[in-house]
A and B are shown apart, each in its own frame.
Chain A
Amino acid sequence: MIVSLSQLIIGSVDLIAAFLLMFGLWRMASPVTAPSGILVAGVGMLVAVVVSFLYVFTIDAAAKPYLALNVGLAVAALLIGGGVAWWSGRKVAITAMPQAVALFNGMGGGAAGAIAAVELFGGRAHGATQLIVTLAGALIGAVSLSGSVIAWAKLDSLLKTPLKVPGLQVFNGAVLLLAIVVGGYIVFVVSSGSTPLLAMPQLITLFFGIALVYGILMTLPIGGADMPVVISVYNAFTGLAVGLEGFVLQNPALMIAGMLVGAAGLLLTLLMAKAMNRSVAKILFASFGPGAKRKQGAIKGSLKPVQASDAGIFMRYAKSVIIVPGYGLAVSQGQGKLFDFVKLLQAAGVSVKFAIHPVAGRMPGQMDVLLAEAGVPYDLIEQLTDINDAFKETDVALVIGANDVVNPEARTDKTSPIYGMPILNADQAKKCYVVKRGEGKGYAGIVNPLFYADNTFMVYGDAAAVCVSMTEAVRGLGSSAAAA
Chain B
Amino acid sequence: MNFEISIGGFVAVYIFMITGFAGWVIIGRVPAILHTPLMSGSNFVHGIVVVGGIFTLLNASSVPEQAIGFVAVLLGAGNVAGGFAVTQRMLAMFKPSGQGAAHHASHARSKKSTGPAVVKRLKPKKA
Contact = CB atoms under 8 A, between A and B. Distances in A.
Interface stretch (A21-29, A277-285, A390-398, A439-447): A21-29
Contacts of B15: 252, 255-256, 259
B48 A258 contact: yes
A365 B65 contact: no
B34 A70 contact: no
Nearest to A127: B9
A378 B49 contact: no
B123 to A, nearest CB: 11
Contact of B86 (A74, A89, A358): A89
Interface of B is mostly: helix
A73 B7 contact: no
Contact of B41 (A24, A76, A356): A24
Contacts of A70: 57-60, 66, 69
A206 interface: no
Nearest to A56: B58
Taking each of A4, A129, A260, which has the highest tally of chain B beta carbons within 10 Å of its own beta carbon? A260
Interface stretch (A174-182, A232-240, A293-301): A232-240
Contacts, number: 450
Interface residues of B, number: 106
Given A25-B30, A243-B16, A363-B36, 13 more contacts: A22-B22, A35-B92, A39-B88, A45-B47, A77-B53, A112-B49, A118-B68, A122-B61, A122-B65, A239-B46, A263-B19, A271-B32, A343-B103
B80 A115 contact: no
A363 to B, nearest CB: 6
Interface string B17-50: 0011111101111111111111111111111111
Taking each of A30, A235, A271, which has the highest tally of chain B beta carbons within 10 Å of its own beta carbon? A30
Contacts of B2: 4, 7
A459 interface: no
A358 B36 CA distance: 11
A41 B41 contact: yes
Interface in B60-100: 60-62, 64-66, 68-100
A484 interface: no
B30 to A, nearest CB: 5
B19 to A, nearest CB: 4
A247 interface: yes
A171 interface: no
Interface in B88-127: 88-104, 106-107, 109, 111, 114-115, 117-119, 121-122, 125
B81 A89 contact: yes
A377 B48 contact: no
A67 B39 contact: no
A34 B42 CA distance: 12
Interface of B: 1-7, 9, 12, 15-16, 19-24, 26-62, 64-66, 68-104, 106-107, 109, 111, 114-115, 117-119, 121-122, 125
17 contacts: A25-B26, A45-B84, A89-B86, A94-B90, A104-B43, A118-B72, A122-B65, A239-B46, A247-B12, A259-B16, A259-B20, A267-B28, A343-B102, A364-B35, A369-B37, A378-B95, A379-B109
Interface stretch (A209-217, A381-389, A461-469): A381-389
Nearest to A263: B23
Interface of A is mostly: helix
A63 interface: yes
Interface string A75-88: 01111111111101
B76 A111 contact: yes
Considering the complex of A and B, which 10 residue pairs feature the smallest CB-CB distances, nearest first?
Answer: A89-B85, A263-B23, A365-B35, A81-B77, A85-B82, A114-B72, A77-B73, A7-B3, A85-B78, A364-B35
B66 A55 contact: no
A115 B19 contact: no
Contacts of B102: 343, 346-347
Contacts of B103: 343, 346, 377
B42 A60 contact: no
Given A24-B41, A263-B27, A247 B7 contact: yes
A74 B62 CA distance: 15
Contacts of B27: 25, 263-264, 267-268
B46 A261 contact: yes
Nearest to B44: A41
A189 to B, nearest CB: 21
Nearest to A259: B19
A315 interface: no
